[in-house]
Amino acid sequence: MSRSRSNSINEPPPTFQAVNEIELDSVRVSKIVSVSVYSGRAEVTRLFKFAVKTGQNQLTILGLPNVLDRESLKVEGRGAATIHDVAIATISDPLLSAPAPTPELTELQATQKRNHQALARTRKSITALEGYLASIRAENISADQLKAAMETYATNAEALDDRVTALEQDIKLTGELIQTEFAKTRRPQNTKLNVKVTIGVFADEEREISIALVYAVTQATWFAGYDIRVDMQTKERAVDLTYKATITQNTGEDWVDVPLTLETTTPTFGVGVPSLTPWTLSVASKPHSAASTIVEHDFGSSMPRAPPLRSMMARKKTKSAEEAYEEEEEYEQEIVRHRESHVSSKGAVSATFGIPGLITVPSYGTGHNVTIARLSLDATMTWVCVPKKDTRVHLKAKIKNASEYTLLAGSASVYVDGSFISKSAVPLVSSDENFDCALGLDPSVRVTYHPLSKKSAQSGLFTTNTVQSFTQRVTVHNSRAAGSGAAGLAVRVVDQVPVSEDATITVKLQQPALVQPGGADGTRSLSGPDTKIALPVKVGAGVVAAWAGSEDGPGQDVDVEALGKDGKLTWTCTVPPQTKVELVLQYEISAPVKTKIAGI
């Protein structure tokens, strides 16, 4: 407003002025203008418009959800008024939440009242007529007069009886209409909506104002899901990924045609840096057979407490009530003032997904699916087999998330060339990060793991050792028709050689000729003067062998110290259609004569 009201703002309301009581049903008379859904909870902004009188008004809002977090409640508003206090309580009598009568119901109730009054008057008329007839004395009137009186009584009594019958019928029919209308207007009792909020509002003048309630509720969540469609006939943007969200809520209030945003915030408030407790050693009071001392190690018992619900709600990315007012309609009123300031908690910065259009999510607890985005992504296909355990070939895709979206962990339905292949899992993937996605089995690539060949011999002049030579052959066959992927499939075969845990037993890898763990020959600096890894070895046309973990070459994260020490190695083969590739693994195991070796 243009005129100043500073004096009226600071002055308390007159003590003699009656309080104007206003009661609103949340579901019937308000509108949800914004919902932000987090993992395990949601933030709802609900807008109310109502008329206030000059002076003190007490607004009672009924039918709010029981799962409302009371500490999260925030009241905002527009209009020439001041909010004095806010109180939250649980409704003890659910009937208090019944809506006000409609004009139709009020008219029917007024008609019923008039019918009862008319019936009472008619019955009094009948009583008066009967009293008049009883007061007639035969000795005082002639026979003709008596006959006329009886005829008059009969006529009037019949009319009055008909009137009583008609009124009783009208009362019955009107009563049925009242019950029908009452059933239409009365909201079915919802035991999940038994919370009420009472707000004291002092108004400078009689007019309409708006109040918004912003509150957090539990029993609402969303989780990510994906449809991954792979086109094996193309090399660019081979993966179409549909990013979906499944929203569920069982708060008791339906979200009908609401603007919806999805938040990826993970709560971190209330989680402190753990502290270390003293770690001491002492001589055991009683010796044990296994050791002479006991190590007392206290790992600490401090566990991070769950954050308060309100700390989840990051107001930075959530639509404010003020924005909701501006979208609802233009207001040129001043903001409703609070007597005391409101302190809101702030959460971590996160991705916010604004779902286009208006969304309806009923309070049934069932999933409601929406699409966040459709992405075309690049992928590198790899066929992987561990024939020692399973000769079936698994198709994997290394997909790069080249979008601006953070992909949350979720399940994915995988389709290859239009056919459903499998269910897979997508991990948490940031923008520009790669992730592996299992695409199921490919029966067109067949791997044969031939029986292990073994030969024994003895060596040494003074100390005789037994040397056992082992040969393992693997055949990879690409049975696809010629012309389908002429460049060949990138098949990766994983196998292993045994690892010795005893100094008297020696294992030597002969083929492929990879540098043994800890050796110096055949290594060179690939990514820096202090980083040495074993070089991949070319063992045939289109076939390269390497220790497991270094098969992708320089530029990857490799644990150099552990490289090859577990005995695992890989072959990466390019196998054209209708072609077979033979792989050979040879190794020797040497030990003193008569040494029994476990594990072979």
- Residue 470, phi then psi, degrees to nearest 5: -125, 140
Give residue 331's pLDDT. Answer: 42
Judge if pTM exceeds 0.75. Answer: no
CB-based contact 282:327 (threshold 8 Å): no
Tell me, yes or no, whether 564 lies in a domain.
Answer: yes
Tell me, yes or no, whether 359 lies in a domain.
Answer: no
27/165 same-domain check: no
179/84 same-domain check: no
Where is the domain boundary, 217, 234, 266?
Answer: 217
Tokens standing for 196?
A: 């009420």
Tell me, yes or no, whether 164 lies in a domain.
Answer: yes
72/204 same-domain check: yes
Give residue 45's pLDDT. Answer: 95
78/53 same-domain check: yes
Tell me, yes or no, whether 150 lies in a domain.
Answer: yes
Q: Which residue has the tokens 């790992």?
A: 299
Tell me, yes or no, whether 229 lies in a domain.
Answer: no
Give residue 299's pLDDT. Answer: 33
Give residue 309's pLDDT. Answer: 38
Helices 143-185 and 103-134 pack at an angle, to 10 degrees, of 160
Give residue 446's pLDDT. Answer: 94
CB-based contact 30:46 (threshold 8 Å): yes
Give residue 503's pLDDT. Answer: 85
18/159 same-domain check: no
Residue 239 has a CB neighbour count (10 Å cut-off) of 21
Give residue 514's pLDDT. Answer: 86
Give residue 224's pLDDT. Answer: 92
Beta bridge partners of 260: 35, 355
Tell me, yes or no, whether 532 lies in a domain.
Answer: yes
489/580 same-domain check: yes
Residue 241 has a CB neighbour count (10 Å cut-off) of 24
Give residue 189's pLDDT. Answer: 66
21/165 same-domain check: no
49/110 same-domain check: no
Instruction: Please tell me whether residue 154 adopts helix, strand or coil conformation.
Output: helix
160/134 same-domain check: yes
Q: How many domains does the chain have?
A: 3
Residues near 405 by beta carbon (within 8 Å), at least 6 away in sequence: 243, 351, 353, 372, 373, 375, 431
Tokens standing for 46?
A: 């609900």
Tell me, yes or no, whether 128 lies in a domain.
Answer: yes
469/543 same-domain check: yes
Output DSSP code: residue 335: B
Show pLDDT as tens, one digit a residue, over the chain (600 residues): 333 444 444 555 555 568 899 999 888 889 999 999 998 899 999 999 999 999 899 999 999 999 999 999 999 888 788 888 899 998 875 544 455 567 888 888 899 999 999 999 999 988 888 888 788 777 777 778 778 888 888 888 889 899 999 999 999 999 999 888 877 766 556 788 889 999 999 988 888 999 999 999 999 999 999 999 988 877 778 899 999 999 999 999 999 999 999 888 755 555 678 888 888 776 766 544 443 333 333 333 333 333 443 333 444 444 555 555 555 554 445 566 544 433 233 333 467 888 888 889 998 888 888 888 899 999 888 899 999 999 999 999 899 998 888 888 999 999 988 888 888 899 998 888 999 988 888 899 999 999 999 998 877 666 688 888 999 999 999 998 876 555 688 999 999 999 888 888 888 999 998 876 654 444 443 444 334 455 788 998 899 998 888 776 655 566 666 778 888 999 999 999 999 999 999 999 988 888 888 877
Tokens standing for 25?
A: 């049903």
| Closest listed residue to residue 9, CA positions, set 334, 238, 449, 436 | 334
Give residue 347's pLDDT. Answer: 34
Indicate the Cα dihedral angle 187, 193, 197, 203, nearest 10°: -30
Q: How many CA atoms lie within 13 A of 450 on its CB side?
A: 13
Tell me, yes or no, whether 410 lies in a domain.
Answer: no
- Residue 85, phi then psi, degrees to nearest 5: -155, 160
| Closest listed residue to residue 98, CA positions, set 28, 186, 181, 179 | 186
Per the structure, the complete domain to which residue 26 belongs is given by 6-95+191-217
Beta bridge partners of 261: 36, 354
485/584 same-domain check: yes
Where is the domain boundary, 167, 200, 217?
Answer: 217
87/207 same-domain check: yes
Residue 306 has a CB neighbour count (10 Å cut-off) of 11
Give residue 187's pLDDT. Answer: 56
Burial class (CB in 10 A: 0-12, 13-18, 19+), 586: middle
CB-based contact 380:398 (threshold 8 Å): yes
Q: Which residue has the tokens 């690409």?
A: 478
Q: How far is CA 524 from the centre of its chain?
A: 50
Give residue 587's pLDDT. Answer: 93
